[in-house]
A and B are shown apart, each in its own frame.
Chain A
Amino acid sequence: MSDINSNIPEGELTSKWTKYKSSVPLVNPSNKRTIEVIIVGSGLAGASAAATLAEMGYKVKCFCFQDSPRRAHSIAAQGGINAAKNYQNDGDSVYRLFYDTIKGGDYRAREANVHRLAEVSANIIDQCVAQGVPLAREYGGLLDNRSFGGTQVQRTFYAAGQTGQQLLLGAYSALERQIGMGKVEMYTRHEMLEVVKIDGKARGIIARNLITGEIERHFGHAVVLGTGGYGNVFYLSTNAMGSNVTAAWKAHKQGAYFANPCYTQIHPTCIPVSGDHQSKLTLMSESLRNDGRIWVPKKKDDNRKASEIPEDERDYYLERRYPAFGNLVPRDVASRAAKERCDAGYGVGASKLAVYLDFKANTERYGKIEASKAGNHNPDKETCMRLGTEVIKAKYGNLFDMYAQITGENPYETPMRIYPAVHYTMGGLWVDYNLMTSVPGLYCTGEANFSDHGANRLGASALMQGLADGYFVLPYTIGAYLSKEISVKAIPTDHPAFAEAEERAVGILNKLINIKGTKSVDHFHKRLGHIMWEKCGMARNEKGLNEAIQEIRALRAEFWSDVRVPGTADELNTELEKAGRVADFIELGELMCIDALNRNESCGGHFREEYQTEEGEALRDDENYAYVAAWEFKEGVNFELHKEELKFENIKVAQRSYK
């Protein structure tokens, strides 16, 4: 059934990557010095690749839209990074991490990619520690681990609630080292607006200097996009304000297939929306589910304060429905369960769109342990709570502070109110085993590609994938391509292909400036987000998706006739930047709905209401939908479906159960 080739090497699953690495063609050092690689994005996937390729000897140019590579949104990842180290001696292994990830992704990821990810996971921790990343340690001086959803081992490494920050600063320091040595040219406050293709191959990009508005042409023998996810298509998400799909979407329009766009991760524990002014949503790390219990009142529309609701009138619905995994079920399952309770009328808070995340039981438990350590074997409740609060503070202090700051409530005293929010996108540019898109010479890494998480990503796996791609996978696989490019001299940027690409980019900028309509960019973005959240969010159905497609098409027409972009294109113009990004989000939104409509099954983060078990769990259709949906962009805004069949040779495909 596949009509696209994923270039997975032959052989046993467990030896594919090892064999590949030892047989992949190499580029000799003197040739590397003349080969140029462009990397767009400076997050975990981009910065790690840029640093590593420069260390290997390639000439690298790296681009980011922020004022420094250290700002990339990987910095905001809180909870941790998985690695199959088995430091806790709890039975972890490469196979188990591989298995958990495939199962967690609801059997919609590629076995070979995921196994490779599990294999290199341990190297990432070694590399980061060598860079001086201060991961959390135990008193014995060894690294500490915590639990995350969807697994029964402790394999998550962390640095308080700031793991992404510390890992990114590690990659950033490696990148800055190469910049200091002149081996990477860094272009900050630059946005990629086009991919340049010559004879079918990616040969460069068009970028806009965001300060001066100048349009620049950059040549590369290969181009790598590590540009992150597209969650901001929903307007409200846990993404940074600037996170966007533009680089990936421009690549898509130049022939790179977009895979599984409808797979969106809705994270269960975020701070609820407080009003129409809301500009973004803030995550409360999944690690909190280690020590927090999630509940709603057993009585509908219960208006009592949480503290006034007695124990036997509380419904710990995750523990009730999923006794084996309890509060640590995967994100898609936890999010849907919260929505189910709220839709049924059991929600809490003013909006009734929230559930409680309660730390009291574990605070008391920790307090008892601390008291016991101090020789008090019969502590009263107050002592337990006081001592336990100190433990909770040490583990999650920054998250509790953030919650207090945003809501004005004290989470040490009352339970947190949380609700699911858009967090991560499993879909992205289609890539083969080499991380190359369907455009030769154009690569895609990290969240921007689709490859490793199937229909649902497990917690603490995004940091793992971003760094795996950048440090350990791409630097090998890109060599296979570049080894055939050694005779290609740098192509001058006055080549007609550069001129054409620049014309396309400038045409769009001018068009946006000259509409001079009546409504702001944010106005359109909010409306798009509303359509997406209501009709292509946590639950989708055929009728809603068909409506959404019509509404988005109408919105696109209105946007292109009535958007107002003040200022000019030859200055720092943040409204112009946003307008270009929202224009691409509108087209992507339509494709997401088309993809969701095409997939007549429920799997992971994609929940079609028509396809569920009697107990309300996702019902897959392996017979007809065990494929990657890779969409090709066609003239106008049209899309053609290509299928990559998923073969499971090492794992028995089963109904996912966390009961």
Chain B
Amino acid sequence: MSTGNMNLTLKVWRQKNNNTKGALVDYKLADISPDMSFLEMFDVLNEQLINKGEEPVVFDHDCREGICGMCSMFINGRPHGPKDLVTTCQLHMRSFKDGDTIVVEPWRAAAFPVIKDLTVDRSAFDRVIAAGGFISVNTGNAQDANNLPIPKMQADAAFEAAACIGCGACVATCKNASAMLFVSAKISQLALLPQGQPERYRRVQSMVAQMDAEGFGNCTNTGACEAECPKGISLENIARMNRDFASAKFISEETI
């Protein structure tokens, strides 16, 4: 039950820190079980490396149930690997075959510098949220929640946008390293809700400005972000963001 019979060759990006050059390093793994998650397969690799006196591969991960957004491996040319709608931690080895060679790299984007091995710095996302991804309400001033009925369709649409886990797969897969799917998901969530209206046009301008300042690229409507998003965040959000951005610039009195 515990050991399996898959033999694999891994090509893993190793890079000591941001000041040094990295390279792909080959590792052989034997007796991998198809029931293991991809990260558990990396646990096996790291245990082997430690036992040999080598340094383990550093990678980001935490909840291992597909919701924290921390894991971030670029597997065989696709963020989070070959399956649709899953994060790396939810990818299982039954998606691979005995004898496979698997190439594992970090997210690649100028705005996500490599920290070590497969770990990158995604703090740019936090700064974009800090620029306006909120409703300005202090604790203790809220009215009764049911005083503000919201049509179910609208609430559900806001929820779908809010399901983004901030992993950065959209940026990693985009040829322009654009963050527009991530940014538009938050803008859409709040733009779809009545609570988000007072700051709607201010928000879109300041978040887009911060997004540009971080060095993310522009959107050229390829749609790779939507295809690779583990949570199925829709391209419609980008369209909504662009509409709001245009409205803010040309219609709204509130330009920043």
Q: Is B61's CB under 8 angstroms from A241's CB?
A: yes
B33: A residues at CB distance < 8 A? 275, 277
B203-217 contacts to A (CB < 8 Å): none
- Per-residue interface assignment for chain B, residues 135 to 168, with 1 indicating a CB less than 8 Å from any chain A CB and 0 otherwise: 1111111111110111110011011001101100
Min distance, Cβ B216 to any Cβ of chain A, angstroms = 16
The CA of A48 and the CA of B190, in the complex, are separated in Å by: 19
Q: With A52-B139, A179-B130, A188-B123 given, is the CB distance from A76 to B65 under 8 Å?
A: yes
Q: Is A575's CB under 8 angstroms from B56's CB?
A: yes
- Per-residue interface assignment for chain A, residues 373 to 411, with 1 indicating a CB less than 8 Å from any chain B CB and 0 otherwise: 000000000000000000000000000011001101000
Q: With A159-B159, A571-B17 given, is the CB distance from A173 to B129 under 8 Å?
A: yes
Q: Tell me whether B43 is interfacial, beta carbon within 8 Å.
A: yes
B158: A residues at CB distance < 8 A? 132, 134
The residue from A87, A134, A186, A275 contacting B159, defined by CB atoms under 8 A apart = A134
Q: Tell me whether B25 is interfacial, beta carbon within 8 Å.
A: no
A501-552 contacts to B (CB < 8 Å): 520, 522
Q: Is B64's CB under 8 angstroms from A279's CB?
A: yes
Q: Is B44's CB under 8 angstroms from A277's CB?
A: yes
B79: A residues at CB distance < 8 A? none
Q: Tell me whether A10 is interfacial, beta carbon within 8 Å.
A: no
When C-beta atoms are compared, the residue in chain B nearest to A521 turns out to be B50
Q: Is A177's CB under 8 angstroms from B145's CB?
A: no
Q: Is B67's CB under 8 angstroms from A66's CB?
A: no
When C-beta atoms are compared, the residue in chain B nearest to A172 turns out to be B129
Q: Is A405's CB under 8 angstroms from B141's CB?
A: no
B126: A residues at CB distance < 8 A? 68-70, 176, 179, 186, 188
B47: A residues at CB distance < 8 A? 520, 522
B10: A residues at CB distance < 8 A? none
B1-52 contacts to A (CB < 8 Å): 1-3, 16-17, 33, 35-37, 39-40, 43-44, 47, 50-51
Q: Which of B63, B85, B195 has the most CB of A within 10 A?
A: B63
Q: Tell me whether A130 is interfacial, beta carbon within 8 Å.
A: yes
Q: Is A280's CB under 8 angstroms from B64's CB?
A: yes
Q: Is A55's CB under 8 angstroms from B139's CB?
A: yes
The residue from B70, B136, B150, B151 contacting A177, defined by CB atoms under 8 A apart = B136
B138: A residues at CB distance < 8 A? 52, 55
When C-beta atoms are compared, the residue in chain A nearest to B90 turns out to be A405
B50: A residues at CB distance < 8 A? 520, 564, 566, 575
Q: Tell me whether A328 is interfacial, beta carbon within 8 Å.
A: no
Q: Tell me whether A51 is interfacial, beta carbon within 8 Å.
A: yes
The CA of A586 and the CA of B190, in the complex, are separated in Å by: 45
Q: Is A160's CB under 8 angstroms from B123's CB?
A: no
**Stretch binding the partner chain, chosen from A136-144, A246-254, A442-450:** A136-144
Q: Is A406's CB under 8 angstroms from B137's CB?
A: no
In the complex, which range does the number of interface residues on chain B fall in? 35 or more
Q: Tell me whether A488 is interfacial, beta carbon within 8 Å.
A: no
Q: Tell me whether A438 is interfacial, beta carbon within 8 Å.
A: no
Min distance, Cβ A203 to any Cβ of chain B, angstroms = 26
The CA of A126 and the CA of B137, in the complex, are separated in Å by: 11
Q: Is the interface of B mostly helix, strand, loop or mixed?
A: loop
Q: Tell me whether B60 is interfacial, beta carbon within 8 Å.
A: yes
- Per-residue interface assignment for chain A, residues 28 to 72, with 1 indicating a CB less than 8 Å from any chain B CB and 0 otherwise: 000000000000000000001001100100000000001111110
Q: Is B130's CB under 8 angstroms from A169's CB?
A: no
Q: Is B43's CB under 8 angstroms from A279's CB?
A: yes
Q: Which of A67, A564, A572 has the most CB of B within 10 A?
A: A67
Q: Is A75's CB under 8 angstroms from B67's CB?
A: yes
Min distance, Cβ B73 to any Cβ of chain A, angstroms = 15
B61: A residues at CB distance < 8 A? 241
B54: A residues at CB distance < 8 A? 566
Q: Tell me whether B55 is interfacial, beta carbon within 8 Å.
A: yes
Q: Is B150's CB under 8 angstroms from A141's CB?
A: yes
B2: A residues at CB distance < 8 A? 275-277
The CA of A406 and the CA of B156, in the complex, are separated in Å by: 27
The residue from A70, A137, A241, A575 contacting B155, defined by CB atoms under 8 A apart = A137
- Per-residue interface assignment for chain A, residues 128 to 165, with 1 indicating a CB less than 8 Å from any chain B CB and 0 otherwise: 11111111111111110000000000000001101001
Q: Is B195's CB under 8 angstroms from A274's CB?
A: no
A68: B residues at CB distance < 8 A? 122-123, 125-126, 166
The CA of A546 and the CA of B158, in the complex, are separated in Å by: 54
Q: Tell me whether B121 is interfacial, beta carbon within 8 Å.
A: yes
B166: A residues at CB distance < 8 A? 68, 70
The CA of A278 and the CA of B92, in the complex, are separated in Å by: 12
The CA of A496 and the CA of B247, in the complex, are separated in Å by: 58
Q: Tell me whether A636 is interfacial, beta carbon within 8 Å.
A: no
B133: A residues at CB distance < 8 A? 173, 176
B60: A residues at CB distance < 8 A? 67
The CA of A617 and the CA of B1, in the complex, are separated in Å by: 34
The CA of A66 and the CA of B134, in the complex, are separated in Å by: 21
Give the 6 A-B residue pairs with the shortest CB-CB distance, closest first.
A141-B149, A180-B130, A276-B2, A173-B134, A126-B142, A275-B2
26 sample A-B contacts, Cβ–Cβ < 8 Å, listed by A number: A71-B62, A75-B63, A75-B69, A129-B142, A131-B137, A132-B158, A135-B155, A137-B149, A142-B149, A143-B146, A160-B159, A162-B163, A165-B67, A240-B64, A241-B62, A241-B64, A274-B1, A275-B35, A277-B43, A402-B90, A406-B92, A408-B35, A522-B47, A566-B53, A572-B119, A574-B56
**18 additional contacts (CB under 8 A) given A127-B137, A129-B148, A275-B33:** A67-B70, A68-B123, A68-B126, A71-B69, A76-B65, A87-B146, A130-B142, A130-B143, A132-B193, A133-B162, A137-B155, A141-B152, A141-B155, A277-B2, A277-B35, A277-B40, A471-B140, A571-B17
Could you tell me which A residues sit within 8 Å of B by CB distance? Answer: 48, 51-52, 55, 66-71, 73, 75-76, 85, 87, 123, 125-143, 159-160, 162, 165-166, 169, 172-174, 176-177, 179-180, 186, 188, 211, 238, 240-242, 274-280, 282-283, 350-351, 401-402, 405-406, 408, 471-472, 475, 520, 522, 564, 566-567, 571-572, 574-575
